[in-house]
Amino acid sequence: MIKVGIIGATGYAGAELVRILLNHKDCEIKWYGSKSYVGQNYADVYKNMFELVEDECLDDNIDKMAEEVDVIFTATPQGYLSTILNEDILKKVKVIDLSADYRIKDVDIYEKWYGIHHGSPELIEKAVYGLCEVNREEIKHTRLLANPGCFTTCSILTAYPLVKEGYIDGNTLIVDAKSGTSGAGRGAKQQNLFCEVNESIKAYGVATHRHTPEIEEQLSYAAGEEIVISFTPHLVPMNRGILATEYASLKEVTLPDGSKGYPTSDMIAEAYNKYYKNEKFVRFLGEGATPETKWVEGSNFVDIGFKVDERTHRVVMMGVIDNLVKGAAGQAVQNMNLMFGLPEDEGLRMVPMFP
C-alpha cells in the first residue's frame, strides 16, 4: 500500500483528493494535514465523510510527514511549499504539488505574475510539469511533480494538437474560459458569496490572470517557438466545471493533394485523434460538438470539440473539465499512479454525474 499524506486536506482540492483516494485500492491516507482544524475529526469538517474517515486532522509538519508516508500531496496556497521544501525531504518522499510553485520554469516570470518571492528556485528544474497526456514518460521518473492548474489543463489540452501540428497561429489564440465558484477555493471571500455570484456572470483577472504564463509556456514548448495569448477567465454560478472556448487563426499548410491551403475539418479531426485516441481521459467528440461541463462533472475526463469557421479562416475549439478533478485532485492522482508504476486510471474510473 502507498502511504499518503495530504497538506491542505480541508480545502476543496484536498477534500477531492480524499474522496478519490478512499476508493484507490493501492493507497492509504495516513495524514490529513490542516493548519486550521488540528485536532478536529475530519468528518466534522466534511460531513459527507461521516463513518468513512475516522481520523483527526493533523498539523502540516512536512518533515515529520516525510518520515511516515511515501507521497505527499500539497493542496496549499501559492508560495507555501516553496518555503518549506528542500532536497532532504525529496530524498525521503515524493511530492505532488497542486499549487503553482514549480510549474513555471522562469522564476522571474513566476514572481512577476504571482507577486510573491519564490523560496526554493533551485528545485524548479527538478520538477516535472504534470500534464499526463504530454509529459507521461518524464512524470514516471520524477520525485517533484508540479500539478497543472485547472484553467491551464483545459486550455492547453483543447489547443495542443493544433499547435503541435502547426495548424494554428498560436499568437492569435484567444482563450475565453468560464469556471464554477469552487475554483476560487473554500476561503470566505465577499465576491464569492451566494448573493454576489448567483444569477450573474463576470470576467476577472482580465489581461492579468496568473495562469496566462503557464498556458503560454506549455504551448510554446509544443509550437517550438514563443507563443503569446489572450486569456480571460469568467466566474459563473455553478459549483464545478470549466468551459474553455478558444479561437485561433488557421495557418496555410500543405494539403493532402500537395496544394497550399488552410487545414480542413478532416485534417483537424485527424490531429485530435492522433494525439488523443489512446488517452484514457480525453474524449474527442468530433467536429461540431459543443461539450458541456455537465458531461464531465465528478470525473477525470476532458471532452473536446471544434468547429472550423471557413468564412474567417479561424477555428473554434471547445474543452470542458471538472476543475476539482482533472483540474486538480484527479490529475494529481493520475500523476501519482504514473510515478508509482500503477495503472493510470486506478481510483479514477468515476462515471460523470448526470444530472
* Phi, psi of 287, deg, nearest 5: -70, 140
In degrees rounded to 5, what are phi and psi of residue 31? -145, 110
Could you tell me which of 252, 351, 347, 355 has the C-alpha nearest to residue 29? 347
Q: How far apart are CA 97 and CA 99, in angstroms?
A: 6
Contact indicator for 151, 134 with CB cutoff of 8 Å: no
CB-based contacts of 262, cutoff 8 Å, min separation 6? 250, 251, 252, 253, 313
Stated as kind and residue range, the H or E segment containing 154 is helix 150-164
Please give the DSSP secondary-structure letter assigned to residue 190.
Answer: G
Nearest-5° angle of CA 223, CA 344, CA 350? 105
DSSP assignments along 56-81, one per residue = BPB---HHHHHHH-SEEEE---TTHH
User: CA–CA separation, 32 vs 13, rounded Å?
Assistant: 13
d(CA 196, CA 202): 10
Is the alpha carbon torsion for 242, 71, 100, 12 positive or negative? positive
Provide the total of helices (H) and of strands (E) in the chain, helices listed first: 12, 15
| Paired sense of beta strands 128-129 and 71-74, if any | unpaired
Cell numbers 465528478 correspond to 298
Told to judge if 150 belongs to the known catalytic residues of this protein, a careful annotator would answer yes
Asked if 217 and 162 touch (Cβ cutoff 8 Å), the reply is no
- Amino acid letter at 253? V
Those residues whose C-beta lies under 8 Å from the C-beta of residue 54, and which sit 6 or more positions away, are 41, 43
Give 238's strand partners.
none
Residue among 27, 132, 150, 154 flagged as catalytic: 150
Q: Annotated catalytic sites, by residue? A: 150
